[in-house]
Amino acid sequence: MTDQPLPGAYWRLWFAAAISNLGDGVFVIALSLLATRITDSPLSIGLIATFATIPWMLFALPVGVIIDRVDRRKVLVIADLSRGVLVGGLAVVAAFWDVQIWMLWLLAFGLGVGEVFFDNGAQTILPAIVPRDQLERANGYFSAAEVTTNTFLGMPLGGALIAFAVWLPFGVDAASFVVAALLAASLRGSFRPTNSVPSTGMIDDMRGGLRWLLGHRLLRTLALVVTVMNLAFATTQATFVLFAQQELHISDNAFGPLLAVIGAGSLLGGIIGGKVVGLFGRRASMLTAALTPVFTSTAIALWPVTWFVIAMITVQAFATTVGSILSVSLRQQIVPGQLFGRVNSIYRWFSTGAMPLGALLGGVLATAFGLRAPYFAAAALLLIASLLVATGLTNAALSAALTQYSPVTTEPTFATDVDTEDHDTDDTPVSIDRDPLDDLLAGP
């Protein structure tokens, strides 16, 4: 990893991401608080997270094929405008009528569909403008920007706005989607891979991506690790708002600041995550990311005291943010560019597809055994993930994978004037890395 300055194109991307994530933070806190005003059922609230992630199971595979065929800028624009319309619709309903819990389920599903398109389109762009040896640092700075604007600024703002008017935070988030779409639409050039070839069919393309991923031992193992970890995180976070209210006795007004304090761990992980990976190595960093939440989840379940829970989740957030940076960077460093959309979608199909099951499991466990039960279940799942890292992600396997595959030589060229050595480049793709509900469903 190098300490050379990141390209100017990257900082344009970073700035756009910071702006758009402000809207995410406003939305996430407002949705959580609105749900608790409608119902106190852990299962009903947990279903919001379930519906938000079901689209990854339904649409991730065909979307990956589409991403490898079309102009990725257009995908970002359409996805953001569509999500803006959906959130704006909820703002109108909240302003004039009573919001029902089923409306939040439908909204979560619709936003999830948009997220499948947007995330896959956005993650294909970064390797084209950032040198390979700087990807971990670049992804870390993105994570820091997301936490700063989303958690420290957006969430407290969302809590204040919903206290003033129920519709207001959703209106703000809808506007941020529109701004994000305009930023993407203003880019010049075509962002379709120029070396893509006519396909024999979507099914064949999906099979090709699946064969590539399953045939790559390292990424196959990493996909399994992240799948288990996300299953565990979704189990606890689906009902975290109820845990905070009933176990920690946190008021609605204090919930946003609580998440902001916890976000300090993610912020630190984003800022220094690249250096941590460089200092301790990829294997040790990933193993720590999996092991740390085993202990923190168990501790939270045993002693749910506010200051202690904040400390535990902050430590956990730091470790898992480093793991997330490493997971994304490895995919970007290893997967050939012309296959990235398909392989990344299949990878996310496994990892994110586990979240609806985790959210449902968390709701069921909390209903049957109390709000601490999901944390014990999460600890057991995370222990399994740690064992997978210890046995499958060896230093030899990592070294071989990074040597054998190089997206730098296989990355499709874009019809733009991107020059990663020119720090003043203007004609570069911008990724606005928005992830609605990420703070409800955080994980690598």
Q: What is the DSSP string of 146-211?
A: HIIIIIIIIHHHHHHHHHH-TTHHHHHHHHHHHHHHHHHHT--SB-S-TT----S-HHHHHHHHHH
> Which burial class, exposed, middle or buried, applies to 208 when counting CB atoms under 10 A from its CB (0-12, 13-18, 19+)?
middle
Mean pLDDT of all residues in 62-75:
84
Share of the chain above pLDDT 90, in %: 21
- The count of structural domains within the chain is 1
CATH of the domain at 344: 1.20.1250.20
Give the separation between CA 354 and CA 417, rounded to whole angstroms. 39
Position 140 in a domain: yes
Output 342 or 150, whichever has higher pLDDT.
342
Give the separation between CA 115 and CA 118, rounded to whole angstroms. 5
pLDDT of residue 188: 64
Position 438 in a domain: no
CB 384 within 8 A of CB 228: yes
Query: Band of the pLDDT at 157, cuts 50, 70, 90?
Result: confident
Give the separation between CA 334 and CA 355, rounded to whole angstroms. 25
The residue segments making up the domain with residue 58 are 8-407
Is the pLDDT score of 311 beyond 80? Answer: yes
Query: Band of the pLDDT at 387, cuts 50, 70, 90?
Result: very high
As a whole number, the mean pLDDT across the chain is 80
The region of weakest confidence among 188-197, 272-281, 296-305, 307-316 is 188-197
Is the pLDDT score of 393 beyond 50? Answer: yes
CB 60 within 8 A of CB 348: yes
pLDDT in tens, 192-240: 765 555 566 778 888 888 888 888 888 889 999 999 999 999 999 888 8
CB 431 within 8 A of CB 76: yes
Q: In what helix (H) or strand (E) does residue 293 lie, and over which residues does it extend?
A: helix 282-302
Most confident of 29-33, 234-238, 414-418: 234-238
Tokens representing 426 are 């203007």
Position 183 in a domain: yes
